Copies of this chain bind each other. A is one copy, B any other.
Amino acid sequence: MKRTALQRKLNIIIFGHDTPSGKTFDLVLIWLIVISVLLVMLETVSWIEQEWGEWLIMIEWGFTVVFTLEYLVRIYVTERRWAYIRSFYGIVDLLSILPTYLGLFFTDARYLLIVRVLRVLRVFRVLKLVQYMSEANILVRSMKMSRRKIFVFFSTVLVLSTIFGSLMYIVEGPEHGFTSIPKSIYWTIVTITTVGYGDITPHTVMGQFIASAAMLTGYSIIAVPTGILTAELASEMQKERTQIVCPNCHHAGHESDAFHCKHCGSDLGRRS
């Protein structure tokens, strides 16, 4: 497929982020997304809905038209159409315009509500900007590096919650709000994560004793994810800092006390 000059030009503006016009486009878009998400939220506040309801619907249609145009232009200018349409952001882009159109067919208040609220998913599009920041990259890389430790950690938390939850179900019983094991597990998670709503609380001495044990457990295992991520982040940040590149094989990531490239062995020219 031969691409026209217009397509190429628009492609740089819409998908690029390095040119001034590309940056302006990104900035305008992100503000439109944030405002449209705020509007969806305000629509659910009853007194705003009653007083400004018609205006909000009109503005919503405005946004939908703009986002629809943007979606169509994106498809028009991109080189690999299906790749875009099936990508994460392609689907989010479609999901952010679909609900308004669906609202024309579903008029049952309950379904309409869900459809309308789904527009809040647009907020995911803001994340697009995040990927261009190296800070986010370090965070994401650290989390990826420690994902297996985190998995082991969460398995332990879930097993602990199951045991504590079942214990509390037996000790406290339905008369104190622990009506079933799943509900007791909900209570255990509320307790172990130190959220502590207080909608269900232990009333027996034994229950309060077990609850205290669960809290202290939660209080100490809160240390585990922090420890994992901190250790990983510290080593990632150190690597970032020591971006010494080998003059021979261009291998980067040497430590600050290295004289020789650890990959090809040639001198880094750093001997003082």
List residues of chain A with CB under 8 Å of any chain B CB.
37, 40-42, 44-46, 110-111, 113-114, 117-118, 120-121, 123-124, 126-127, 130-133, 135-136, 138-139, 142, 148-157, 159, 162-163, 166-167, 169-170, 173-174, 179-183, 185-186, 189-199, 201, 205, 208-209, 211-212, 215-216, 218-220, 222-235, 237-238, 241, 250, 253-255, 257-267, 272
Contacts and interface: CB of A to CB of B under 8 A. Distances in A.
A169 B44 contact: yes
Contact of A117 (B131, B169, B220, B254): B169
- Give the oligomeric copy count: 4
Nearest to A112: B170
A250 B272 contact: yes
B265 A224 contact: no
A198 B177 CA distance: 15
A212 B230 contact: no
Given A154-B216, A263-B260, A265-B266, A126 B225 contact: no
Contacts of A150: 220
A168 B264 CA distance: 56
Contacts of A228: 139, 223, 233
Given A139-B152, A157-B216, A193-B194, 18 more contacts: A113-B170, A114-B169, A127-B159, A132-B148, A135-B152, A142-B227, A186-B209, A186-B211, A189-B212, A194-B195, A197-B201, A222-B222, A223-B226, A231-B234, A234-B235, A235-B237, A258-B262, A260-B262
